[in-house]
Each structure stands twice: as structure tokens, then as C-alpha cells.
Amino acid sequence: MKPLNSLKTVIIFFMFVSLVFACSSDNNSSDDDQTSYLFLDKWWYGTTEGNVPSGVIPPDIYFGSDGSYQQYIGTDQAWGSWIWENEAEGVLKIYDLQGFIVGSEAYSKIISETDNSLTLAISLDGENYIYEMVYYDEE
């Protein structure tokens, strides 16, 4: 009876060791789960497509994957930061703006994105989207 108990102990020990190694292996599966966004790390050039009010000049914009934000309207530049306000709904908060727009906050909601186009709804309060702007990755 004693050799059978020893055999069970050895089997249980090897199962435990195998389980520990299986659970601790790093297969980089977390990298595969990350969502890839097409709008990051490239310049987007504003157009008057969409329902942009007359007199509004669409800026050229840049969202960095490091949380940086930049925009140009003609030669005027603004920069700041962005974070996901609600990633599931595609809502970005742009904040801590410097340059020709100091201290303002704005929200953009991704309506659509492709390799070369981006449509954003624009809001000043994160709730009421006042118009949509269409951007392209080439001027």
C-alpha cells in the first residue's frame, strides 16, 4: 500500500509542476489582444466635407500613441494631450491645450476610420456633438 501512495504523490507533484510552468509561460498573447487604431501616429488633413458650419476652418490634426495631440490651422499651432474618455464608444478627450487654444477641452468621437480617412464628431462638452469633420491622410 505504501508504494501506491508514493506513486500518487509523485504524479500529483509532476502535475502541479506542469501546471505551474504552463501558467507562467509567456506567449505574448496580450499583444495579440490589443486593438490597433488606424488614426494614431499620422497627420490628418481637415476638409470641409461633412456638416462643417460655414466659417469654420477644419484643422490638420495628429493623435500620438503616446497621448500627444497637435493641430494646425494655417500657421497657428496648438498642442496638448488626449485620452480615451470612452474607448468602447470611440470618444477621445483632448485637454491641456497650449498655443493658440490655451486651456480648452474638446471631445472627438470616431464615426469612421479607414487607412486613409477619418470622420470625427466634435463636441465641447462630451455630450452634444455639434458637427462632423472628415479628414484624409494626404492633402
The pLDDT tens digits along the chain (139 residues) read 555 544 444 344 333 333 333 333 444 444 444 567 999 999 999 999 989 998 889 999 999 999 999 999 999 999 999 999 999 999 999 999 999 987 789 999 999 999 999 999 999 999 999 999 999 998 7
- What is the pairing mode between strands 117-123 and 129-136? antiparallel
Q: Please give the pLDDT value at position 3.
A: 55
CB atoms within 10 A of CB 122: 18
Q: Please give the pLDDT value at position 17.
A: 33
Retrieve residue 36's grid coordinates.
490597433
Residues 6+ apart with CB under 8 A from 59: 46, 71, 72, 73, 78
In the chain, the domains with their CATH numbers are: 37-136 (2.40.128)
* pTM of the predicted model as reported, rounded to 2 decimal places: 0.72
